[in-house]
Structure 1
Amino acid sequence: MIKNLKTADEQRDKMSLEEYFTFHFLVDGILLVAVGLLGVVGNIFCIVWFSRKLVQRAFHQLMLTLAVFDLLYVVISLILFGVPGLFPWVYDFVEFNHLISIILPFAQIGLTGSIYLTLAISIERYTTVCHPFFKLYHSWSAKFYIIPISMFSVLYNIPKFFEHRVIKNYTVVEEPGLEPVNITV
């Protein structure tokens, strides 16, 4: 009877693991890639739309820069999370593991820039709507927002380039019958 319980527990754990991988494939693979591709298309559309405006106001330039930062983040998120969700075996490639440590800081730059540009757009809209005369007397260009935010996004995330590294583990068996030795390089 206890043996049957153990087998049932093992079966339940195995089913849970299978369900976990199915859920991971559906959410991180299919759903993330579908929403991410919509984000890529939407951001490219916004970049084209705001760059073609004849009268470039500060709002249009801020929205254009926000779309660029968002596009950077979405594309890198698709590579980092969507591709492994669809193809879990991609982690077996050393090149992909090295790529993660290189492009993850760029995703952080995109995310930081996106957050602070959203805040800058809120401030710009607030001053435009609530204090229109202030905007008339103090003409700030979009560079007043974009340059400091871009510089801060890059400088703040420089340490992230040094946070990750790829470590290779090897198992070496020197003689038959002996315990394997793990070596980390």
Structure 2
Amino acid sequence: MTWNNSSEINFIRQDELESHLLNLPANHPGLDGGVGLDPILTLRFVTEGLVNSVVSTFGLVGNVSAIVILATQKLDLHSFLRHILIALAVFDIIFLVTTFFLYSLPLFSSGYHDHFYQILAPKLLIPLSQIALTGSVYSIITITIERYLATCRAHLKTTSPPRTSVIAIVAIVTFACIYNAPRFLEYATQLQSVKYQDYYLGPSGRPVPLGKAYSKLEHRLEATEFRTSSCYILLYLLFGNGLFMTFGPIAVLAVLNWNIHKAIRLKEQRKALLMTSNAFPQAGHPLLNPARSFPGATTTSTTSPFSPEASDEKDLTITKILFGIVAVFVICHIFKMILVTLEVIFNLFFGTNLPASMGIEILMTFNHMALVFNSSINVFIYIHKDKHFRNAAKAFCQLPNSIIV
């Protein structure tokens, strides 16, 4: 709750009041400017409350616009990538909506926090947000695999059947639901008697209890025995989460994108040498004669509209979009990687969970903010990297060319 620097009578949970009295220094100067006693609560209000709400709003508008543009506009994308990008936008929308009701709205509305949040969070918001996050991660991996096959293993890649994208999306959703099924068992809502204490702020800004404490029956979110068991924490939350949701996906993305980058550089070098060969023929150069460099390869005319070179620009644009998505993904998951690493260290070497310290709270707060940003930024990457998507966005928004750069 908010603490005011006045003699107004307010109420607070008794355990919270005792915690503030124990941790507040005797020479505390007061609470000028409306800053709360708890700096973490203030940080959460600014980041998870204000910043996340603004970013989520832009993200929701952007992702909805991306779905409409991808579904209705004529873009230079084949159906598989178009459908996976739509699925990615849907997952991001679900994640943004659920995180708003999980982390932002409870900071703005005590009525929602005390009544609706406690009921919605354990069986709906927490599992659904994790399912959406998993779907988003594996949609990016699917796009990366497609780009890897198209760029580095073109001789293995054939025309995708119309239902390939549907099968891929169903597989992603199925895996996300199965993998996150334990999330439905982590928390439960219980009706508890909570003690409250009236107080007022004295001249020094310290809370002064007023009268006797009293009790109220309230719904409270409590971790289940399943959630607190050491086996579940170690196997699922630490190793499972680290392998399938953090370090595993990042390792796969790093390896595949590095190979894609090398293949693109090789293509660019070959293209440059081919252009040079028009004036200075070098038929013996391996880059100019793929048939001699790669067993089973055939020489293709560069002037044919159906040659691989004719689609280089489209492939390069798609790959640039992928690199942008992956770069933002890795950056926004740095806080999560730090938290998972610390959790593993504390559990393996100290036999305990992460301590409830200010540093850990700050890391968790910035982790939530980074994940929200990651789910909101993709449409702007499309606009920046792809001129066809940019033109489609201009036409969709009916804006002059000078608006979107």
- Please tell me the residue identity of whatever aligns with 2:86: L
Change (3 A) 1:89 1:146: same
Larger RCO, structures 1/2 (Cα 8 Å, 6+ apart):
2
Contact preservation (8 Å) 1:43, 1:67: yes
- Please tell me the residue identity of whatever aligns with 1:63: L
Deviation at 1:85, TM superposition (A): 2.6
3-state SS of paired residue (1:150): helix
Deviation at 1:139, TM superposition (A): 2.9
Change (3 A) 1:156 1:171: closer
Contact preservation (8 Å) 1:127, 1:135: yes
Contact preservation (8 Å) 2:114, 2:218: no
Contact preservation (8 Å) 1:62, 1:121: yes
- Please tell me the residue identity of whatever aligns with 1:103: L
Aligned-pair identity in percent equals: 27
Q: Distance in 2 between matches of 1:105 and 1:184?
A: 23
3-state SS of paired residue (1:169): strand
Contact preservation (8 Å) 2:106, 2:117: no
How many residue pairs match? The answer is 171
Is residue 78 of structure 2 the alignment partner of residue 59 of structure 1? no
- Please tell me the residue identity of whatever aligns with 2:160: S
Hey, what does 2:66 align to over in structure 1? 46
Q: Distance in 2 between matches of 1:121 and 1:63?
A: 8
Hey, what does 1:21 align to over in structure 2? 41
Instruction: Map Cα deviations across residues 40-73 of structure 1 (whole Å, 9 max, x no partner).
Output: 1111111111222457511101101111111111
Q: Distance in 1 between matches of 2:61 and 2:170?
A: 26
Instruction: Map Cα deviations across residues 127-148 of structure 1 (whole Å, 9 max, x no partner).
Output: 1122223223x63521342121
The structure 2 residue matched to 1:99, chosen from 120, 124, 131, is 120
Is residue 51 of structure 2 the alignment partner of residue 7 of structure 1? no
Instruction: Map Cα deviations across residues 76-109 of structure 1 (whole Å, 9 max, x no partner).
Output: 111111112333453222x321011122111111
> Which blocks of at least 5 consecutive residues in structure 1 are unaligned?
1-5, 173-179
Instruction: Map Cα deviations across residues 142-174 of structure 1 (whole Å, 9 max, x no partner).
Output: 1342121111111111221122111221269xx
> Which blocks of at least 5 consecutive residues in structure 2 are unaligned?
1-24, 196-213, 220-405
Hey, what does 1:115 align to over in structure 2? 137
Contact preservation (8 Å) 1:40, 1:74: yes
Provide TM-score, normalisation by structure 2. 0.38
Is residue 180 of structure 2 the alignment partner of residue 157 of structure 1? yes
Change (3 A) 1:183 1:35: closer
3-state SS of paired residue (1:126): helix
Q: Which has the larger radius of gyration?
A: 2
